[in-house]
């Protein structure tokens, strides 16, 4: 599943390869017996802790993407080390603020994580990159990301990006247009549907979610 990468096609090309899929395509999307306790706890606890996008924002999660092809909008808390089922690094909501799912993450190392009974092949990798939000028309936010040579060769820092670096790279017209910018470190990432999913908690799509305004470009 490549739910998290939700940039435009141009940005995807600049960042490639930004992520890697799980290795075992034959593993079922439904949790195995070993994985079920973690998934069950995550689904029960997060539904109580963060039932709405507002509750996530109150807890320090900040929106940083548009709706993706699965109908999910991502929120991150900037803590990229998940200790257990109650501590995701990201949460996803639909356009109405309904909780859909969560990402768990740990720093990227050579070996896939062996945590919480989750099969190591469930984890995907994300290379370090940058996310930002620019002021759009009528008080809107233009969400985007970068990680390509255009940003770094113009003096941009993937690990410590600034608004001015986005200007120099030609991404923003002025620093005042930058509503936020933050580094997304290299991580192992695990994606889990919290909303019940007939296809399985690890499936890419959920028939219980109908995207309202999904991206038109290809994502894979």
**64 Cβ contact list (under 8 Å, min separation 6):** 74, 75, 76, 131, 133, 143, 180, 182
Give the distance from CA 15 to its chain's centroid: 15
Give the distance from CA 207 to its chain's centroid: 20
| Inter-residue contact 4 to 189 (CB < 8 Å) | yes
Domain ranges of the chain: 19-128+187-205, 129-184
Q: What is the pLDDT of residue 95?
A: 97
Cis peptide before 17 (omega within 30 of 0): yes
Does residue 219 register a pLDDT over 50? no
Cis peptide before 133 (omega within 30 of 0): no
Question: Please, what is the average pLDDT of the chain?
Answer: 88
Please give the structure tokens belonging to residue 183. Answer: 């580094």
Does residue 18 register a pLDDT over 80? no
- For 163-172, the pLDDT digits (tens) are 999 999 999 9
Mean pLDDT, rounded, for 148-166: 90
- pLDDT-based confidence at residue 9 (cuts at 50, 70, 90): very low
């Amino acid at each position: 599943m490549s739910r998290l990468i939700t940039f435009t096609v141009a940005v995807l090309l600049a960042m490639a390869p930004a992520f890697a899929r799980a290795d075992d395509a034959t593993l079922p999307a439904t949790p195995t017996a070993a994985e079920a306790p973690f998934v069950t706890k995550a689904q029960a606890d997060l539904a109580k802790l963060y039932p709405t996008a507002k509750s996530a924002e109150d807890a320090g999660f900040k929106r940083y993407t548009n709706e993706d092809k699965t109908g999910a909008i991502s929120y991150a808390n900037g803590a990229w080390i998940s200790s257990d089922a109650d501590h995701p690094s990201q949460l996803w909501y639909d356009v109405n603020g309904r909780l859909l799912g969560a990402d768990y993450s740990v720093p990227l190392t050579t070996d896939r994580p062996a945590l919480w009974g989750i099969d190591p092949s469930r984890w995907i990798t994300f290379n370090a990159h940058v996310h930002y939000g620019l002021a759009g028309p009528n008080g809107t936010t233009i969400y985007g990301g970068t990680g390509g040579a255009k940003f770094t060769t113009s003096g941009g820092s993937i690990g410590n990006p600034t608004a001015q670096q986005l200007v120099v790279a030609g991404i923003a017209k002025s620093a005042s247009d930058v509503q936020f910018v933050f580094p997304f470190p290299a991580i192992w990432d695990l994606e889990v549907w919290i909303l019940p999913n007939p296809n399985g908690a690890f499936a890419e799509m959920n028939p219980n979610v109908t995207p309202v305004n999904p991206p038109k470009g290809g994502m894979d």
